[in-house]
Amino acid sequence: MQALQGIKVLELGQLIAGPFAGKTLADFGADVIKVEPPGVGDPLRKWRLLRDGTSVWWEVQSRNKRSVCADLREREGQEAVRALAAEADVVIENFKPGTLEGWGLGWERLHALNPRLVMLRISGYGQTGPYKDRPGFGVIGESMGGLRHLTGEPGRVPVRVGVSIGDTLAALHGVIGVLMALYHRDARGGEGQYVDVALYESVFNVMESLLPEYDAFGAVRERAGSALPGIVPSNAYRCADSSYVLVAGNGDSIFRRLMAAIGRADLENDPALAHNDGRVEHTARIDGAIEAWTSRRSSDEVIAALEAARVPVGRIYSVADIARDPQYLAREMILEATTASGESLRVPGIVPRMSATPGAIRHPAPRLGEHDADLARGGWPRRDEPGA
């Protein structure tokens, strides 16, 4: 038994935010039917690096899902979706607000058809407000949410995070909302409801003290490179082999152990540095002491010494490092999957880990329209059918 076994999810979205939410629910047992445009499918099938004509990203984003083809712009496709939604627990969509309403698939229509339905609506700016009609991608949400302004080196052009973090944050917020709505419905006897997630709000929600610091002090946080301003020491330090290690010595007792490990008893015992607020005033002095020590040692030597002192430390991983790391392997964060074409592919494991109802890869990402036959016989498979 998986945690979401028996939950029926209809995924209407494309690319990243909506489908990542669907993938997360599917990993834990939900039966996810993904609706794709006939002939071309989700554009993600052709994004980034392809193998045999299909993106290997697709193999991760769409695992455990079924694929059916329906043109949502045509009456036949709309009727097929309404028939699926009538039996669904969850509908996921990430179109611009108003798009589904124009196709007769909006919240009011589907809720009247199925009062128990939970609908996850992910968009750039949400379903209300003066910007709701603007198109919005993750990169715009990251910028408006405040993340892009903080990312990069001081005085340089703000840079993007290397992945579509705005989309993923929106998807995860959406999954939280869906689970809360299902709990309200099933544990408390409530009706279904819609979950309204905006990309920029999902980014803004993780911006920590950004707003209260501005409100209380007029402080506008700026780019700080590898440092974490206001929390000291926490930075990347150059080693003798030209690599960098990340050291987080910002707990008071950790700081003392760190200073002892690098032979700086003067800093270890300085009462002005006993707590973070005092250390912040001496950031350059502390960072200089740490890098003076790391710059004379290889990264392996630095890591060994600081781990022995129980100081959080680590190197900057590339995917090649990840793929061979024993911690990743021990916790099954790298899984061997088989694609629909029968080829082997290493893919990310399932997060979070559940002790009693763990997630699993039950079947590979589908071929386009692979489950169209389900539509012909009523959409959702019976509980006694294979794969149900």
Residue 104 belongs to a domain: yes
Mean pLDDT of 208-236: 95
Which pair of tokens denotes residue 107? 């919240």
Structure confidence by residue, pLDDT tens digits, 64-80: 999 999 999 999 999 99
What does the pLDDT read at residue 4? 97
What is the percent of the chain where pLDDT is above 70?
A: 97
pLDDT of res. 1:
85
Q: Identify the domain containing residue 302 by its residue range.
A: 234-238+244-315
Strand, coil or helix: what is 327? helix
DSSP 357: S
pLDDT per residue as tens digits for the range 299-341: 999 999 999 999 999 999 999 999 999 999 999 999 999 999 9
Residue 371 lies inside a defined structural domain of this protein: yes
| DSSP-based three-state secondary structure for 235 | strand
Are 193 and 132 in the same domain?
A: yes
Structural element, H or E, at residue 21: helix 17-27
- Residue 167 appears among annotated catalytic residues: yes
pLDDT attached to residue 382: 60
- Please tell me whether residues 60 and 188 are part of one structural domain: yes
Same domain, 180 and 279: no
Question: Angle CA(85)–CA(88)–CA(89) in degrees, nearest 5?
Answer: 130
Banded pLDDT at 34 (limits 50, 70, 90): very high
366-380 residue pLDDT tens: 999 999 987 767 667
Q: Is residue 310 located within the same domain as residue 336? A: no
Q: Which of 167, 196, 300, 372 is catalytic?
A: 167
Q: How many CB atoms lie within 10 A of CB 43?
A: 12
In a shared domain, residues 195 and 73: yes
pLDDT interval class at 386 (50, 70, 90) = very low
Same domain, 283 and 339: no
Can you give the CATH number for the domain in which 356 is found?
Answer: 3.40.50.10540
Condensed to tens digits (0 to 9), the pLDDT of residues 189-221 reads: 999 999 999 999 999 999 999 999 999 999 999
The reported pTM is 0.93
pLDDT 10s digits, 86-124: 999 999 999 999 999 999 999 999 999 999 999 999 999
Residues 302 and 343 placed together within one structural domain of the fold: no
Task: Give per-residue pLDDT as tens, 153-166.
Answer: 999 999 999 999 99
